[in-house]
């Protein structure tokens, strides 16, 4: 498929450190916007078994590599010993005028920008809260959790976030902030999609 950027919809990258609560806020925002077809929440492919707090499509490493070879992924990256991918079907959804929301790696922001009009939302929290949340998930050893926190992921040099959520109060508050950010983005494209 062509790498020509879409000019209609918007791709919203929700990024931030492990334990910041990205999946929680995205899931709550998805529930709040479930009846509005202008919003689409990406189900990523991840080489990890299903996990209660994260809506993703489990895939083996072999299947993932095959999907990359077939250009079935619009964006892919590797982190924490896992492979992550955004299905290529997202191109059509953004081109239709939708606001597409995806939990992304900061390292994948340049790829998203090459493909789509992009907005960036950073979800963050202080290190001690991140450590507590990672430990509470119970899917990693303490050593793995500490390694995640030590890993410094740098945003691309020209990155300016459109929204920053310091996720230290309730998940509902953070989700409300994310929803309030997303709603006007759909308004920008309503005429082109429905007109």
Q: What are the φ/ψ torsions at residue 73 (nearest 5 degrees)? A: -115, 130
Distance, in Å, from the CA atom of 142 to the CA atom of 12, rounded to the nearest integer, reads 31
Distance, in Å, from the CA atom of 29 to the CA atom of 78, rounded to the nearest integer, reads 26
Q: Which of 150, 44, 155 is nearest to 100 (CA)?
A: 44
Distance, in Å, from the CA atom of 7 to the CA atom of 136, rounded to the nearest integer, reads 41
Separation of CA 175 from chain center: 14
**Bridge partners (DSSP) listed for residue 118:** 11
> Which CATH entry fits the domain spanning 10-42+94-185: 3.40.50.300, 1.50.10.20, 1.10.760.10, 3.40.50.720?
3.40.50.300
> What contacts 187, CB < 8 A, 6 or more positions away?
none
Which residues participate in the annotated binding site for ATP? 16-23
One pLDDT digit (tens) per residue for the chain, 195 residues: 334 444 579 999 999 988 899 999 999 999 999 999 999 999 999 998 877 566 789 999 999 999 999 999 999 999 888 999 999 999 999 999 999 999 999 999 999 999 999 999 999 988 878 877 777 776 666 566 666 666 655 566 567 899 999 999 999 999 999 999 999 999 854 443 332
Q: What is the DSSP letter of 125?
A: -
């Amino acid at each position: 498929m062509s790498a020509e950027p879409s000019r209609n919809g918007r791709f919203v990258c929700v990024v931030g450190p492990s334990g910041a609560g990205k999946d929680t806020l995205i899931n709550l925002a998805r529930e709040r916007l479930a009846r509005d077809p202008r919003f689409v929440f990406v189900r990523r492919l991840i080489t990890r078994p299903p996990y209660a707090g994260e809506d993703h499509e489990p895939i083996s490493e072999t299947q993932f590599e095959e999907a990359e070879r077939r250009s079935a992924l619009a964006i892919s990256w590797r982190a924490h010993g896992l492979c992550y991918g955004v299905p290529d079907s997202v191109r059509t959804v953004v081109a239709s005028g939708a606001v597409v929301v995806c939990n992304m790696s900061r390292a994948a922001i340049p790829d998203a920008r090459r493909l789509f009009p992009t907005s960036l939302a950073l979800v963050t929290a202080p290190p001690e809260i991140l450590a507590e949340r990672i430990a509470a998930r119970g899917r990693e050893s303490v050593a793995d959790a500490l390694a995640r926190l030590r890993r410094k992921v740098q945003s691309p040099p020209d990155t300016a976030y459109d929204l920053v959520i310091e996720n230290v109060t309730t998940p509902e508050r953070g989700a409300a902030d994310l929803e309030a950010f997303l709603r006007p983005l759909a308004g920008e494209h309503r005429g082109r999609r429905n007109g």
